[in-house]
Amino acid sequence: MIRILLVLFFLLSVGVFPLDAAETPLKKASFIPQWSPQSQFAGYYVAYEKGFYKKRGIDLTILQGGSDRPSSQFLTTGKTDFATMWLSTALRLAANGQEIINIAQVTQRSALMLVSKTSSNIKTPQDINGKKVSLWGEDFQIQPKAFFKKYNLDVKIIPQSFSINLFLRGGVDVASAMWYNEYHTIINSGLNPEDLTTFLFYEHGLNFPEDGIYTLKKTFKKDPALAYAFVKSSIEGWLYAFSHPEEALNIVLKYISQAKIPANRVHQKWMLNRMKDLISPPGGGSIGMLQPRDYERVDYELKESGLVKRTPSYYSFFVRCDKDVEK
Amino acid sequence: MWKNRGIAFKLILAICVSVGLIFILIFSFNYRFSRNIIEKNVEENAQNLVQSQVNRIETVLLSVKKIPENLASFLANGSYDEEELLFLLRTVVENNPEIYGAAIAFEPYAFDRGLLYYAPYFCKHNGKIEFTNLGTTSYLYAYLDWYQIPKELNRPDWSEPYYDEGGGNILMATYSVPFYKNVGEKRQFMGIVTADINLGWFQEVVSSIKVLQTGYGFLISRNGTVITHPLKQLIMNETLFGVAEGREDTHLREIGRKMIRGESGFVPFRSIDSEKECWMYYTPIPSNGWSLAVLFPRDEFMADILRLNRIVVILGIAGLLLLSIAVAFIARSITNPLRAMARATKEIATGNLDVELPPAKSGDEVGKLSEAFQYMEKSLKEYIQQLTETTASKERIESELKIAHDIQMSILPKIFPPFPERKEFDIFAMIEPAREVGGDFYDFFFIDDEHFCFTIGDVSGKGVPASLFMAVTKTLLKAKTLWDADPASILTKVNKDLSQGNEACMFVTSFIAVLNTKTGELLYANGGHNPPLMIRSENNSPFRQGGDEGFLGEVEFLAVSKGLVVGAMEDYVYQTDRIRLKPGDSIFIYTDGVTEAMNERGELFSEERLKKQTIKLQGKSVQEIIAGTMEEIKSFSHGVPQSDDITMMVIAYKGIRK
């Protein structure tokens, strides 16, 4: 009698606690986003707070990113297991011999854009010719420069800092902006959308998918399951954030204030909504997938601009980790 | 519903509703008017208040601006070495309490060809003058707004408020003036001279603005960034547009756009923290284009007028109540007597004329009505009294007339058959007076054993005089037959007697006949009376032979000599006619009440109709002839009241049976 009960109890326990989660010890891992906490990384914070990583056996540490803590550097120097980066950044690193791979292309669409005031009489790309354009550094210049080349524009490039005041005061005619960030800042500095002319690069054949998840090849080889688990949990975090925006915002705002950065809910809400547009654009790619044609486009433009010479092949650069069962 | 309501209810409702409407109209007008006055006053005060604060800030800004401007012109024109420059900059910061710090930031390699960045900066950190060289790799000033914007714009500019990390390390705003050096013909950009102001002072100035209990001021930058606000989390973290987006308030966004465009305005505004309805006045600070707004809590400004309104409303309602009571009182003074009168009138209607009517207390319409009712009651009483008296006398007369009728009837022979032992003839008569007493009469009696006299008459006029005249005539007729058996002679004598002393000029039509019961010989005389009908028995009708086309049966009017009405002409002589009756023949005598009976169309019964009727009744008994004729007259007149006395008599001669 007691034996039967014991068997029953054992069977029930197996049913309630899946073996893979409950019985293996948590693996330690770390992750750094490429910027300070904001809705741009909502998915990871949400996944962490909702226990999605833990559920898949990861004891994750999210490191704080920022301008003085470049995620690429953290990844290549082994300070983190996983990092987000722009595809262009990662490709340049890979071209320079860094053994990194893309394990999930999160955003499918480029958010980088040029903005001008309609009062400057700029309506078409051609109108930018001869104007003062402020650009951020390095990777932020690849698309604009390809854009100028594409439309055969001669512009005066002014370095752009983190503020958009130079543009607002009229110091430049055209400024760079991220759709989910600076564009909204401009709108909330009193300019209406109809006061602005925008050039989103993805609309001009220059779609550079931006945020992707990267890891070192050796990290991946050592424990592919970890990479799979990390990507799956992160994507689950994103999907949860999109279906529970207010909860996601609360989580993001918590991280922002922990980082002692002024938190602006309205702005973060805008950013989260735009991230949704970028991650799952209507008629666009699917979350986690790096489309070969996107890869080829970035590769081509980087080579065209002379920033890289030799790049890894698509198949050695990208390992899709969101769909397949880990082998 | 409304129709059946009382006057008091209608009055109160109508008056209260109209007065209430008037009150509401006046009240709302008054409210709007006073609200507008207050709004206008608030606007004026607001303008003065905000303008004075702006002036206060502007004065400081203007004096701050002079410092870098002077420095810039010195740098553009003078020659200097590093020691002089640092001394100058330090002195400027020391001697100008308005500024927090000042810097001279050179273009790369512009100060020293071997030095990329050179930017000496003095600031008052914790009251002590501190020196910093901003030209380090961790503080790339060339890309900061305070440097880049005036450089690109080629003109001095106020920066947005910012936390200067690595520089002043406080919330500040910087006034930057570019300076140049003339190289040959060209003007070469050399760098930027700055003066920083500590925004803490601004915040103090603005947060010292208090309007009544909850009014406050706030300051926004050219980007709409909140610089000061009672809500601390907004400061440097939100723009007015972000707040508008968060509240989905397009109106607020529009106001914000006007503010950053440098406009002034007085607008209704919902307080950002308390959501209270306020007025807001905003006006720009001319130097740097920031905008100062002050909120004036509407409810606090309206508190007095709201209290006044409450009092007015209470007074209004009280007044309305008082008015209702007054109206009710007046209405009652009208309706109470009316109601009393209505009650009394109902009582009068039941016949009680002694009801006490409410006394006329006032001289108004109600009083007049009361008087009229009292007069009416009095008149009615008198009238009814008269009526009672009249009725009593009439009743007396009527009873007398009844007696007179009975007497009159009693003088007429009324027992039929009157002579049951006489088989030679049958007689039947009837009289139907139109009034209680009539002027018709009939009579029959035996003069002697063989001679039977019968007569009929109709006195002119009706009523009592006629009945008296009739009594006289009948008496005279009977009296004259005592000495004479000739009808004409009887009539002549009666005529003579009646004509003498006939003051009333009355007359009588009369037919008198004497029947010899043995022989059937009939002597008769006529005094203006309707000719009687002769009803021949079938056996002895003379009209059978001869084949006359106008033959209407065995009935014929009796041929009578013409005779004047009796009592008209004293000396008139009547003639006697004679005829022999055969057994079976009958004589039908009647008065003009029969032939002149009228129906509703005004047609007369007529002799023609009488004759036809008589033919129909031929062979019947005397009673049946009279009853049948009477029935026919009744059905002819069809309810039209009888206007004249109806008298009929039938004598049927049977002869002596063997």
C-alpha B383/C-alpha B121 separation (Å) is 128
Q: Is the pLDDT of residue B544 over 70?
A: no
Q: Are residues A261 and A286 in the same domain?
A: yes
| Per-residue pLDDT at A62 | 93
Q: Is the pLDDT of residue B550 over 70?
A: no
Comparing CB atoms, the residue among A158, A263, A264 nearest residue B152 is A158
Q: Kindly state the average pLDDT of the residues B561-584.
A: 87
Task: Say how many CA atoms lie within 13 Å of A174 toward its Cβ.
Answer: 27
| Per-residue pLDDT at A14 | 45
Q: Is the pLDDT of residue B450 over 80?
A: yes
A132 CB neighbours in chain B (<8 A) are: 152
Quote the minimal CA–CA distance from A189 to chain B in Å: 4
| Per-residue pLDDT at B552 | 43
CATH class of B37-201: alpha beta
CB atoms within 10 A of CB B356: 10
* B412-653 topology per CATH: Phosphatase 2c; domain 1 (3.60.40)
A101 - beta bridge partners?
A215
| Per-residue pLDDT at A54 | 92
| Per-residue pLDDT at A15 | 45
Q: Are residues A163 and A253 in the same domain?
A: no
Residue A1 lies in a domain: no
Cβ within 8 Å, pair A190-B242: no
Interface test with A, best of B245, B252, B254, B272 (most A CBs within 10 A): B245
With CA atoms as reference, the chain A residue closest to B221 would be A189
What's phi and psi for B120, nearest 5 deg?
A: -70, 140
Cβ within 8 Å, pair A263-B222: no
The predicted-structure confidence for B363-406, as pLDDT tens digits, reads as follows 788 788 888 888 888 888 899 889 999 999 989 988 888 888 78
| Per-residue pLDDT at B472 | 85
Residue where a domain stops, chosen among A188, A204, A220: A204
Task: Say how many CA atoms lie within 13 Å of B219 toward its Cβ.
Answer: 25
Of B243-247, B382-386, B640-644, the one with minimum mean pLDDT is B640-644
The predicted-structure confidence for A168-225, as pLDDT tens digits, reads as follows 999 999 999 999 999 999 999 999 999 999 999 999 989 999 999 999 999 999 988 8
Q: In chain B, where are the structural domains located?
A: 37-201, 210-301, 304-381, 412-653
Cβ within 8 Å, pair B245-A266: yes
Comparing CB atoms, the residue among B144, B222, B241 nearest residue A187 is B241
For A229, the token pair is: 């688990």
More confident residue, B275 or B154: B154
| Per-residue pLDDT at B318 | 92
Topology match between the domains B37-201 and B210-301: yes
Mean pLDDT of chain B: 86
Q: Is the pLDDT of residue B77 over 50?
A: yes
The CATH number of residue A143's host domain is 3.40.190.10
Q: Is the pLDDT of residue B517 over 80?
A: yes
Task: Give the CATH number of domain B210-301.
Answer: 3.30.450.20
| Contact present, B486 and B522 (Cβ < 8 Å) | no
Comparing CB atoms, the residue among A169, A262, A264 nearest residue B149 is A169
For residue B658, name the pLDDT band (cuts at 50, 70, 90): low
Residues of chain A with pLDDT under 50: 1, 7-8, 10-22, 325-327
CATH class of B304-381: mainly alpha
| Per-residue pLDDT at B657 | 64
Q: Helices (DSSP H) in B481-621: which residue ranges?
A: 487-499, 592-595, 606-616
- Provide, rounded to the nearest whole percent, the portion of chain B with pLDDT above 70: 96
- Please report where in the chains the tokens 């007729």 appear, as a residue: B477
Amino acid at B109: Y
Q: Are residues A196 and A171 in the same domain?
A: yes
With CA atoms as reference, the chain B residue closest to A172 would be B152
Distances in whole angstroms, Cα of residue B544 to Cα of each of B206, B538, B610, B616: 150, 9, 21, 18
Comparing CB atoms, the residue among A132, A161, A171 nearest residue B144 is A161
Q: Kindly state the average pLDDT of the residues B300-322.
A: 88
Cβ within 8 Å, pair B242-A267: yes
Cβ within 8 Å, pair B246-A265: yes
Q: Kindly state the average pLDDT of the residues B65-79.
A: 88
Q: Does A192 touch chain B (CB under 8 A)?
A: yes
What's phi and psi for B522, nearest 5 deg?
A: -120, 120
| Per-residue pLDDT at A19 | 44
Residue A326 lies in a domain: no
With CA atoms as reference, the chain A residue closest to B143 would be A161
Q: Kindly state the average pLDDT of the residues B154-183.
A: 86
